[in-house]
């Protein structure tokens, strides 16, 4: 027990060695492609994930998964406390109990949330992204009412839940302009919310 009646906390145990590496203290403009370039010299990379918030913006950390623990160990030894874009990196084994960021947090619905969109994406880019996905009714890009600029995420309406599930499966792992899409099902349909799912202060535009 700490002085003053506060609770004491046990130090968090270090993650067990694994083939996954946590990379922290990143500048917010560092992309998944940048991470891959920094770590590709240590062995074949299976997956690179950049943690993002609900708007698709970087949280300043990510994960690199190698084929073996040995490759991950070499990466940690070489890269921990190294400098990237003026920031001293924190590099350690990934906590294997963490939740996979590609997993959905909402139950399947007819509306799919697509986050971490590059701000330079055009309507043509979005059309190309959904070109081979069936039963899409509408795709709406969130626009900031104050600036008129894209907010970095969109919603896609499908004819039914099954089509939305298949659409999500088709988009998992996709990267556009070096940014991996963040996917989830929207908490409710556009009709039930009455606002198109856009946060307050935003509007959505269809293409």
pLDDT, residue 187, reads 64
Q: Where are the beta strands (DSSP E) in the chain?
A: 20-24, 45-52, 58-66, 83-84, 87-88, 90-93, 111-115, 136-144, 150-158, 175-176, 179-180, 182-185, 202-206
* Residue 102 is assigned to a structural domain of this protein: no
- What are the structure tokens assigned to 130, written together? 């959904």
Helix intervals (H) in 117-160: 123-129
Look at residues 63, 93, 123 and tell me which one is the last residue of a structural domain: 93
Q: Are residues 77 and 139 in the same domain?
A: no
Residue 100 domain-assigned? no
- From first to last of the 207 residues of the chain, give the pLDDT tens digit: 444 444 444 445 667 888 899 999 999 888 888 999 999 999 998 888 888 876 777 889 999 999 889 999 999 999 999 999 999 999 999 876 554 444 445 788 899 988 878 877 877 788 888 989 999 999 988 887 777 878 788 889 999 999 999 999 899 888 888 778 888 888 644 443 333 344 434 445 555
Whole-number pLDDT of residue 197: 42
Residue 102 and residue 138: Cα distance in Å, rounded? 23
Virtual torsion, Cα 171, 173, 178, 181, nearest 10 deg? 50
Strand-pair category, 58-66 with 83-84: unpaired
Do residues 179 and 125 make contact, with C-beta atoms less than 8 angstroms apart?
no
pTM above 0.85, yes or no: no
Q: Give the per-residue pLDDT at 186.
A: 81
Residue 104 lies in a domain: no
Q: Which of 93, 128, 157 is the last residue of a domain?
A: 93
Q: Which domain holds residue 187?
A: 111-206
């Amino acid at each position: 027990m700490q002085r003053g009646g506060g609770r004491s906390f046990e130090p968090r145990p270090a993650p067990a060695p694994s083939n996954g590496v946590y990379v922290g203290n990143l500048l917010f403009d560092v992309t998944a492609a940048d991470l891959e370039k920094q770590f590709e010299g240590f062995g074949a990379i299976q997956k690179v994930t950049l943690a993002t918030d609900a708007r698709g913006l970087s949280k300043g950390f990510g994960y690199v998964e190698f084929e073996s623990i040995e490759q991950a160990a070499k990466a940690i030894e070489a890269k921990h406390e190294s400098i990237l874009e003026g920031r001293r990196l924190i590099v350690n084994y990934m906590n294997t109990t963490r939740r996979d960021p590609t997993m959905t947090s909402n139950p399947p619905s007819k509306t799919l949330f697509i986050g971490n969109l590059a701000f330079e994406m055009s309507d043509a880019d979005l059309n190309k992204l959904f070109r081979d996905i069936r039963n899409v009714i509408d795709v709406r890009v969130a626009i900031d009412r104050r600036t008129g600029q894209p907010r970095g995420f969109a919603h896609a309406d499908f004819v039914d839940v099954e089509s939305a599930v298949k659409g999500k499966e088709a988009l998992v792992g996709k990267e556009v302009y070096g940014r991996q899409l963040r996917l989830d099902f929207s908490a409710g349909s556009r009709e039930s919310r009455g606002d198109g799912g856009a946060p307050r202060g935003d509007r959505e535009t269809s293409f």
